[in-house]
Amino acid sequence: MCGIAGYIGKRQASEFLLDALKKLEYRGYDSSGMAVLSEENTLNCVRSIGRINALEEKLKGMKSNGSIGIAHTRWATHGYPSEANAHPHSDCSGNIFVVHNGIIENYKILKEDLIKNGHKFQSNTDTEVIAHLIEERFKGSLEQTLADVLKCIEGAYALAVISKNDPGKIVVAKKSSPLVICIGKNENFIASDSSAVAGYTDKVIYLDDGELGIVTKDDCKIVSIANNNKVHKECCSVDLDVSEIRKNGYEHFLLKEIFEIPEVVKNSTRGRMILDQGLVKLGGLEVLDQDKLRNINRIIIIACGTASLAGFVGEYMLEEYAGIPVEVELGSEFRYRKPIIDSKTAVIAISQSGETADTIASLLEAKRKGALTLGIVNTVGSTISRETEAGVYNHAGPELSVASTKAFVSQIIVLALFTIYLGRTRDMSLVMGKRIIEEIDKLPCLIEETLKNHEQIKSLAAKYSKYKNFLFLGRKYNYPIAREGALKLKEIAYHIHAEGYAGGEMKHGPIAMIDENFPSVFVVPNDSVYEKMWSNMEEIKARRGKIIAITTKGNKNIEDIADDVIYIPKTLEMLTPVLTTTPLHLFAAYMGMEFGFDIDKPRNLAKSVTVE
């Protein structure tokens, strides 16, 4: 949700900033901009509506020399996407420029006071008040003024500020929105996440809430906003592989990421399964007192969007095989409830980005109430990975497409591993532990086989793109997958409306909408609820509804009832979601392509939702 970049050093700042913005574009892409401070101490700002390449075009004809600069790619919160609302924002005199990710909740009242004092505003954003407040209170030191200003700001922010009145530095601050300072040799970088500096440095300092950083070419000092005391911070090395953030011959990141899934499953499981003992080894959980983990009697999974649907698959797995009651809660709801939590409750936050604001807020609430907090997170070093007591990384690699695909599958895989990990300390037998591990081990090959259906799925997308509505139906392990199929179709091919429903719920309402113009996608592997789903297919057929079925290879009889069938290989029931997901992800991707959409960056969305 908005990407921030900053540079101070020996290069042309604009070159790094442009490169960084392209890597951060997945965070928001309705407008962008940068401000560069030249050696002659002039500030040049360029802003553009639309994607980063529009900014790049604009920069070609503009003065942007200088080795200090800040930049931003926006996902609108306050003020529609326009050049005036694009960041960086400045004060009245154009001496101070600010980029911001987050929401200033009390901006209206601050703005009214500033206007009374004669300040002239150019945008409808909440961010602009910060530049004017700095202008109003400036007494020579940018960092002291910013610290002073932040004391009257309510809300969330990751900020980077430069000023020609106190040049030679970038001042940054953080509260509830992510920000990293990346350390180079005679140069330093600022970014919303470390992927932006891949290829430049691998040394990262994670700013924590309430901290302010003063970043110069050769130094980086962190202080507490509250009392100005120096804070000692560790500089971490991160593994940033530039090739992972390239399309590698694919037309879209989304397709690349779907086709990477077999490899992702190998990476998520590598070194974690001990077949002959039917055990799973999760290094990230070893820091815990194992008795504490053994004693938990309830799990609450907290997540948003697609990650929550992986959580629902985990709920079925953990209850069936580890014998622990599980509830899945949306971050945006859990944070405002009065949950009953004790020290025997484990709260697992699932998040690809590790930065989703609602998931973080819920996690912190659970932590305050004494729960054991765990994370299943893909982004190394992210807020959730740092705020949880222990956790498991997905190792899915950077996911750049806004729609989450490979991370979703890896979340299910990690939940399966977690099920064995916990199950084997409880009632799960050696035989069952071994059986699940054997089946997980086969998954990469089985996913490869599923991916071979891509041409068939592409032609199905062409055939069905004329329909405006879809119903996705599944039961038990594949009920969350039906919801995921619908979510992806809405997200990527947004001319189509889709709903994901539990097969048994269909006749309690949605069936009213079914006719020959309203197709249904049935997620029906050959499992314990297959017969029940068959009855649901009959009910749809009786209303002349079209059926696309995803089922297990060998289920030939389904061709008698379904209009189109996509076959997947056979696996253990609890692992079928790993195989049924891929055709649905491909279907949504090809549908989006049918409409000519940018399937990596669907309209109105952003990859990581760092505002409430």
Name the site residues for ligand M6R (rule: CB under 6 A): 304-307, 351-353, 356, 359, 402-404, 491, 608-609
Measured distance between the N- and C-terminal CA atoms of the chain, rounded to whole angstroms: 11
Nearer to ligand M6R, 9 or 305 (CB): 305
Question: What gap in Å lies between CA 564 and CA 459, rounded to an integer?
Answer: 11
What minimum distance in Å lies between the beta carbon of 54 and ligand M6R? 23
* Closest distance of CB 236 from ligand M6R, Å: 20
Pick from 461, 492, 453, 485: nearest CA to 471: 485
Residues 487, 312: Cα–Cα separation, whole Å = 14
Query: What letter does residue 403 receive in the DSSP assignment?
Result: S
Q: Which residues pair with 236 in a beta bridge?
A: 204
| Complex with ligand M6R: residue 48 or 405, whichever CB lies closer | 405
Shorter beta-carbon distance to ligand M6R: residue 27 or 546: 27
CA distance 181 to 266: 32
Question: Do the beta carbons of residue 437 and residue 273 sit within 8 Å?
Answer: yes
Query: How many whole angstroms separate alpha carbon 80 and alpha carbon 102?
Result: 15
Q: Which of 2, 45, 220, 304 is catalytic?
A: 2
CB of 602 to ligand M6R, least distance (A): 8
Nearer to ligand M6R, 28 or 305 (CB): 305
Q: How far apart, in whole angstroms, are the C-alpha atoms of residue 11 and residue 217?
A: 11
Decide if 386 contacts 284 (C-beta within 8 A).
Answer: no
DSSP code per residue over 134-171: HHHH-SS-HHHHHHHHHTT--EEEEEEEEETTS-S-EE
CA distance 511 to 470: 12
Answer yes or no: are the C-beta atoms of 127 and 98 closer than 8 Å.
Answer: yes
- State the residue for tokens 């939940």: 415
SS3 for 392? strand
DSSP 207: P
Residue 299 CB, shortest distance to ligand M6R, in Å, is 18
Evaluate whether 349 touches 375 at the Cβ level (below 8 Å): yes
* 3-state secondary structure at position 2: coil
Least distance from ligand M6R to the Cβ atom of residue 312, Å: 13
Query: In this chain, which residue has its C-beta nearest to ligand M6R?
Result: 305
> Considering only CA atoms, which of 233, 383, 227, 475 is closest in space to residue 375?
383
CB of 399 to ligand M6R, least distance (A): 9
Kindly report the backbone phi and psi dihedral angles of residue 152, in degrees, each rounded to the nearest multiple of 5, phi listed first: -105, 10
- Provide the phi-psi class of 2: left if phi over 0, else alpha when psi is between -120 and 50, else beta: left
- The least CB distance from residue 590 to ligand M6R, in Å, is 16
Q: Which is nearer to ligand M6R, 114 or 611 (CB)?
A: 611
In this structure, the strands spanning 372-377 and 345-351 are: parallel
Question: Does the annotation count 607 as an active-site position?
Answer: yes
Closer by beta carbon to ligand M6R, 29 or else 518: 29
Catalytic residue among 174, 406, 476, 607: 607
Facing residues of 537 across strands? none
For ligand M6R, the closer of residues 8 and 486 by Cβ is: 486
Give the residue with the Cβ less far from ligand M6R, 511 or 599: 599
DSSP 244: G
Closest separation between CB of residue 364 and ligand M6R, Å?
Answer: 15
CB of 193 to ligand M6R, least distance (A): 11
Using DSSP's 3-state secondary structure scheme, residue 547 falls into: strand
Catalytic-residue membership of 445: no
Number of H helices, E strands in the chain: 18, 26
Using the structure block, give the residue that is written with the tokens 């696309």.
548
Q: Give the single-character DSSP code of 176.
A: B
For the packed helices 576-594 and 454-464, what is the interaxial angle rounded to 10 degrees? 50
Based on CB atoms, which residue is closest to ligand M6R, 69 or 480? 480
Task: Give CA torsion, residues 496, 501, 504, 507, to 10 deg.
Answer: -40
- The answer to whether the CB of 449 falls within 8 A of the CB of 549 is no
Q: 173 or 609: whose CB is closer to ligand M6R?
A: 609
Question: In this structure, are strands 96-104 and 155-163 parallel, antiparallel, or unpaired?
Answer: antiparallel
Cβ-based neighbour number of residue 137 at 10 Å? 13
Instruction: Reduce the DSSP state of residue 190 to 3 states and report it.
Output: strand
Residue closer to ligand M6R, measured from CB, 14 or 195: 195
Enzyme catalytic residues: 2, 607
